[in-house]
Amino acid sequence: MNRTAFMVPTLVAAYNLAMNAVDRVDQLRSTNPTRRKEMRLAMSMPTWALDLCALNAFALVRKVQPAGTASASVCEFNRRIAEALTAPALQQRHLGDGMSMRKRVQSLVSAVGNIGSGHILMPNSTTISSGKLKCILCSMRGLQRRSRWGRASCERGFHVECFAAFHFPDVFLAAATPSVRGALGLVWAAAAANQPFCVRTKSNKSITPISGIGLP
């Protein structure tokens, strides 16, 4: 077959050299069936564009550094790109899981008798819920009783009497009723055994925050 060579502008020649590969990729994507033992997945336009960019980058790397990428496949190249793009998000997710989702646990020894700045008895709000929370000291005694008061630091419910006995046990040791002595015995036994004192992980909106308290 006789062919006649004729001169064309440089722009047309550069277009033919660069666009033939792009056209070939489009043809392969549209006509070639999926390989055996593979599932054809739907691909959005941004994902398709990203896939094309990865293929072009792999071809450029093989062209510029043929020796360094001789053993790397397209799948390995795409895996490295995916790891580089998702590494910051995965690291941030792991840090968030360790800081926010893990249960805040403190020793019961440090909780009993502690009356720090955060250990304040606050009235529960009735805006979102009924405002009644389970009293932690009553729960230790095996009673399912609820209170309209709560402690702002650990966001747990407390009766006024239970709060006083829990944080000032020494005051009640001299003259205490049998029920108070029994409750204090459970508290000290749990503290001696170093049982964990689990604090709520989810923010409780029933307890009024310190910033929302106004004087009468």
Domain borders along the chain are 43-102, 105-210
Q: Would the pLDDT of 191 be above 50?
A: yes
Burial of 176 per CB tally in 10 Å (0-12, 13-18, 19+):
middle
Question: Rounded to whole angstroms, what are the CA distances from 50 to 59, 81, 85, 119, 174?
Answer: 14, 11, 12, 54, 75
> Which has the higher per-residue pLDDT, 177 or 33?
177
pLDDT tens string 95-106:
765 554 444 444
How many whole angstroms separate alpha carbon 134 and alpha carbon 140?
A: 11
Structural contact between residues 187 and 169, judged by C-beta atoms closer than 8 angstroms: yes
The one-letter code for the residue type at 199 is V
Contacts of 146 (CB under 8 A, 6+ apart): 132, 133, 134, 135, 157
First to last CA, the chain: 103
Average pLDDT estimate for 51-56: 87
Mean pLDDT computed over every residue of the chain: 70
Please determine, for residue 214, whether its predicted confidence score (pLDDT) is greater than 50.
yes
How far apart are alpha carbons 103 and 202 in whole angstroms? 9
- The b-or-e profile of 19-37 (16+ CB within 10 A means b, else e) is eeeeeeeeeeeeeeeeeee
The pLDDT value recorded for residue 173 is: 67
Q: What is the pLDDT of residues 117-134, one digit of tens each?
A: 556 777 777 776 777 777
